[in-house]
Amino acid sequence: MDVQKNTIQKKSFVKRPVGILKKQLGYTREFFHPNLARIIIPTLPYEALDCSGEKILPWSLMKLFDSCEISDFWPFQDEPQGPAHDKVMYILNYELEIDEALYTSDSPKVPLIIDNTVKYVKNASRFTESILRHPEVERQYAKCSGIEVNMDPETRKPKPFPLWWKEHFNFPTEGSKREFKLPTKPKANVFSSEHRVCFSDTDENKHMNYTVYVRFCCDSFCENVLAGKYGVSLDVYEIGVKKLQISYLNECNLGDILTVASWEDKVIKNAYHFEIWNGSVLSATVTISYHNFFNIEKCSRL
């Protein structure tokens, strides 16, 4: 394949519709360095709240962070090699932490700032961190971090980042390995529910979007609490996600019937573990801990 044809094909990935959409969300952007971008957003979108308009939906926060993805706003490269890389990233693991302040109505929500940092770039993977905050509040509202792998869009296998690209931007190359492992699953008090992957659960990569794993787990958790299977001290209408950790193991696709198995942590209060099975294949593991706002008089949620 000649250089010109290769460049044209690569541009098609960078300019795919979802990338264009992200650039039209009305965000103000500041670039301090290719490793650091600041995105200023008007406020949380209405879709980030549940039906009551009170609780923040964690998968909506994940989508908010994704809409500020740092590489979607990198300057376009005109070198013969084409743009930075084919924009198909597979997430290995992901962590989201939500401070109690984000749930309270007395903490300012306009404007909000997201600082995105590339912590390191290795052969075919990178580690990024994003922090959501208000410019006049010292404590951070939320933080997400993830390890992603650059994938070949055809073979769906890891594809090394171009050496010239890493050298050009001088990204850090060293960083600690991160893994999230569940404790041993108990023999009793493990509860299961089924979820079908619908078309609206999929994305442009033609598999179930990474945020849907969290939604399935949260739905299963609430169903089990309401059924009295665990979390007897919790009111699902008086809680908010505090922290979640996900390890993505295998893709899920349209029409798959997934089984979510979950149990309560015996040591950490208000923490629960989840396994998402696609038949006999383990697709993801998730740990979620919750803020419990029940009987806290001064905690007025959004």
pLDDT tens digit at each of 302 positions of the chain: 343 434 433 343 344 455 556 667 788 888 777 788 899 998 888 888 888 888 889 999 999 998 887 766 555 544 444 444 456 788 999 999 999 999 988 899 999 999 999 999 999 999 999 999 999 999 999 999 999 998 887 788 898 887 877 777 788 888 888 999 999 999 999 999 999 999 999 988 789 999 999 999 999 999 999 999 999 989 999 999 999 999 999 999 999 999 999 999 999 999 999 999 999 999 999 999 999 987 555 444 44
Exposed/middle/buried for residue 292 (C-beta within 10 Å: 0-12, 13-18, 19+): middle
Q: Which residues contact 43 (CB under 8 A, 6 or more apart)?
A: 109, 110, 111, 112
Beta strands 239-248 and 271-278 are unpaired
What gap in Å lies between CA 74 and CA 90, rounded to an integer?
19
* Domains located in the chain, CATH noted: 1-179 (3.10.129.10), 180-302 (3.10.129.10)
